[in-house]
């Protein structure tokens, strides 16, 4: 079998396993591209939602394309990047729309554009090249480094803004009219706005909730139907992009609305949202899913929201590990970050995991947060060992990366050597009692520079990619671009309701 035949065979295999794929013909053609491999892209609820949204237009066909699993093998095949539904080259479409989830996927955009034969830099494209659009979760924070490569960026919730853009495409010569669209909600036009961040768009209530269009076993979340139980968050964690001030806080979906999205064939249902466990009807939603004979998954759980009833339902729904976020190494740091999770909540979570027989508690943790000290790390070690005596504990650690559009924006990265020192300290302290896994300090630094970056950072990313994208290439390309350190001053913690006042008193 030739390399090109192998590519087609892989696409055939994946399509044959899908349920819900849309095949159609229409005058306006959109290639929706995910700049990571298929197994990741098809686990993205936003990607699937826009796919269904665009195919709901009678004048539009939307087909999917992905970063190949093996980019070099695809290059050797001499085949252009193809969409799955029709095997057509991406460059033949009128619009090429990327869903960009996090900073390091920007190199995937470069790969996909190059494989498609589309100039990577927007300034090098002519009138006959497709309109290149970038949207996705990254636009809630800082998409400016992606600006040199996009004709237009849709900020925030794109369910309605994308229709405004496609209506303009149908009218013809949209590239020349983009500057006139620069004031529209959710539109970031790089040639007009430069490095200035734009407000994010908010979708109307009738567009919610988002839910999966396609079920497939070939994903990170195999054969799981994803649906929003809520969108947004009512809390104020200072490190989080989706905090209360983003798009008006939480918008809830009720039990009947959620269950109406679930196809009969779905044996697993995943509830997605920034604060799923804050949903006031969570128990009713989970019970409805589990009582229907399906397995359940939740994208986030807060330690202070766990109850025996919820744990029993999660176990019935196939849970083997319960994951909660601690985020800060000590009560002091969590209070400073307005996380409002104390040791008593985490200890109770461990007890509930033990008593339910689920098996393991996983705790997500950030290190290198502003004002962190060795005393905070010692508290983390001491308390983690206490938890491990209650139930098996795994700890997932990520270095803190300050994001734009948050109160901790512009806070410095702790430093690669400092993060590695901290990880060594934790490993020595925890020994074999806690399963500790961490992300790379080096790649967290790359993410940080991108998260805080501007158009120059985007061009430096292109340089690093062209030079092989090894860490040395990134370090050379980013020389002089790391933001100047800012002195951290914790925001005053001013409780705005009774619950927050009680939390502040308990953690003081």
Both 277 and 312 in one domain: the answer is yes
Nearest to 404 by CA among 19, 146, 110, 31: 146
Residue 498 has pLDDT above 80, yes or no: no
Predicted local distance difference test score (pLDDT) of residue 90: 98
Q: How far apart are CA 249 and CA 236, in angstroms?
A: 10
Q: How confident is the model at residue 500 (pLDDT cuts 50, 70, 90)?
A: very low
Q: What is the residue range of 140's domain?
A: 3-193
Domain's final residue, options 172, 193, 214: 193
Both 129 and 179 in one domain: the answer is yes
Q: In angstroms, what CA-CA distances link 60 with 50, 95, 497?
A: 12, 11, 47
Both 107 and 155 in one domain: the answer is yes
Both 173 and 277 in one domain: the answer is no
Both 86 and 158 in one domain: the answer is yes
Are 262 and 209 within 8 A, CB to CB?
Answer: no
Nearest to 359 by CA among 396, 319, 328: 319
Is 422 within a domain? yes
Is 400 within a domain? yes
Both 212 and 66 in one domain: the answer is no
Predicted local distance difference test score (pLDDT) of residue 387: 97
Q: In angstroms, what CA-CA distances link 41 with 32, 230, 242, 365?
A: 11, 21, 21, 25
Is 250 within a domain? yes
Both 219 and 309 in one domain: the answer is yes
Q: Which residue's entry shows tokens 């100039």? A: 119
Both 158 and 305 in one domain: the answer is no
Taking the CA atoms of the chain, what radius of gyration do you get in angstroms? 23
Predicted local distance difference test score (pLDDT) of residue 483: 75
pLDDT digits (tens, 9 = 90+) for 33-77: 999 999 999 999 999 999 999 999 999 999 999 999 999 999 999
Domain's final residue, options 134, 161, 193: 193
Percent of the chain with pLDDT over 90: 87
Predicted local distance difference test score (pLDDT) of residue 300: 76
Both 284 and 355 in one domain: the answer is yes
Is 504 within a domain? no
Over residues 342-354, mean pLDDT: 97
Secondary element (H or E) of residue 64: strand 60-66
Residue 486 has pLDDT above 60, yes or no: no
Residue 462 has pLDDT above 70, yes or no: yes
Are 237 and 339 within 8 A, CB to CB?
Answer: yes
Is 230 within a domain? yes
Is 489 within a domain? no
Both 224 and 168 in one domain: the answer is no
Give the chain's domain count. 2
The tokens for 164 are 């405004």
Both 368 and 233 in one domain: the answer is yes
Residue 494 has pLDDT above 50, yes or no: no
Domain's final residue, options 159, 193, 227: 193
Q: How far apart are CA 67 and CA 35, in angstroms?
A: 5
Over residues 207-229, mean pLDDT: 95
Predicted local distance difference test score (pLDDT) of residue 43: 95
Give the Cβ contact number of residue 160 at 10 Å. Answer: 17
pLDDT digits (tens, 9 = 90+) for 79-90: 999 999 999 999
CATH number, domain containing residue 376? 3.80.30.20
pLDDT digits (tens, 9 = 90+) for 398-419: 999 999 989 999 999 999 999 9
Predicted local distance difference test score (pLDDT) of residue 398: 97
Is 306 within a domain? yes
pLDDT digits (tens, 9 = 90+) for 273-320: 999 999 999 999 999 999 999 999 998 799 999 999 999 999 999 999
Over residues 336-355, mean pLDDT: 96
Both 131 and 221 in one domain: the answer is no
Is 200 within a domain? no
Predicted local distance difference test score (pLDDT) of residue 242: 86
CATH number, domain containing residue 165? 3.40.50.280
Predicted local distance difference test score (pLDDT) of residue 299: 82
Query: In terms of DSSP bridges, do strands 321-327 and 360-367 run parallel, antiparallel, or are they unpaired?
Result: parallel
């Amino acid at each position: 079998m030739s390399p090109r035949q192998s590519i087609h065979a892989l696409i055939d295999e994946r399509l044959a396993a899908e349920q819900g794929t849309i095949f159609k013909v229409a005058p306006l053609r959109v290639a929706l591209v995910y700049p990571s491999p298929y197994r990741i892209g098809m686990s993205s609820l936003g990607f699937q939602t826009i796919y269904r949204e665009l195919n709901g237009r009678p004048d539009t066909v939307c087909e999917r394309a992905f970063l190949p699993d093996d980019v070099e093998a695809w290059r050797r095949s001499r085949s252009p990047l193809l969409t799955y539904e029709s095997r057509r080259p991406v460059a033949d479409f009128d619009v090429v729309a990327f869903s960009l989830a996090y900073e390091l996927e920007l190199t995937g955009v470069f790969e996909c554009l190059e494989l498609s034969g589309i100039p990577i830099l927007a300034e090098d494209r002519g009138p006959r090249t497709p309109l290149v659009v970038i949207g996705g979760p990254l636009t809630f924070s800082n998409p400016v480094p992606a600006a040199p490569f996009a004709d237009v960026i849709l900020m925030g919730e794109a369910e309605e803004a994308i229709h405004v853009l496609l209506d303009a495409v149908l009218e013809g010569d949209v590239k020349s009219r983009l500057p006139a669209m620069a004031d529209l909600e959710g539109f970031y036009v790089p040639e007009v706005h430069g490095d200035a961040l734009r407000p994010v768009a908010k979708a109307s209530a009738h567009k919610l909730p988002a839910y999966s269009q396609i079920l497939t076993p070939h994903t990170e979340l195999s054969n799981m139907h994803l649906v929003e139980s809520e969108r947004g968050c009512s809390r104020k964690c200072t490190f989080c992009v989706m905090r209360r001030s983003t798009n008006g806080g939480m918008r809830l979906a009720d039990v009947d609305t959620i269950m109406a999205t679930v196809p009969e064939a779905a044996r697993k249902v995943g509830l997605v949202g920034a604060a799923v466990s804050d949903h006031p009807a969570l128990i009713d939603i989970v019970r409805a899913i589990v009582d229907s004979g399906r397995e359940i998954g939740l994208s986030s759980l807060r330690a202070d929201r766990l109850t025996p009833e919820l744990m029993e339902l999660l176990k019935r729904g196939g849970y083997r590990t319960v994951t909660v976020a601690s985020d800060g190494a000590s009560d002091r740091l969590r209070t400073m970050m307005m996380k409002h999770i104390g040791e008593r909540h985490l200890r109770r979570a461990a007890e509930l995991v033990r008593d339910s027989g689920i098996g393991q508690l996983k705790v997500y943790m950030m290190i290198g947060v502003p004002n962190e000290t060795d005393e905070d790390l010692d508290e983390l070690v001491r308390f983690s060992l206490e938890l491990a005596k209650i139930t098996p504990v795994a700890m997932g650690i990520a270095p803190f990366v300050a994001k734009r559009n948050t109160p901790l924006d512009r806070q410095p990265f702790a430093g690669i050597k400092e993060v590695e020192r901290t990880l060594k300290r934790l490993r020595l302290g925890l020994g074999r009692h806690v399963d500790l896994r961490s992300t790379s300090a080096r790649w967290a630094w790359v993410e940080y520079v991108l998260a805080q970056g501007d158009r120059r950072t985007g061009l430096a990313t292109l340089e690093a990619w062209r030079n092989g994208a090894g860490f040395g290439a990134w370090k050379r390309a980013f020389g002089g671009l790391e933001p100047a350190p800012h002195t951290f001053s914790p925001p005053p913690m001013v409780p705005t309701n009774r619950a927050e006042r009680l939390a502040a008193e308990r953690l003081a």
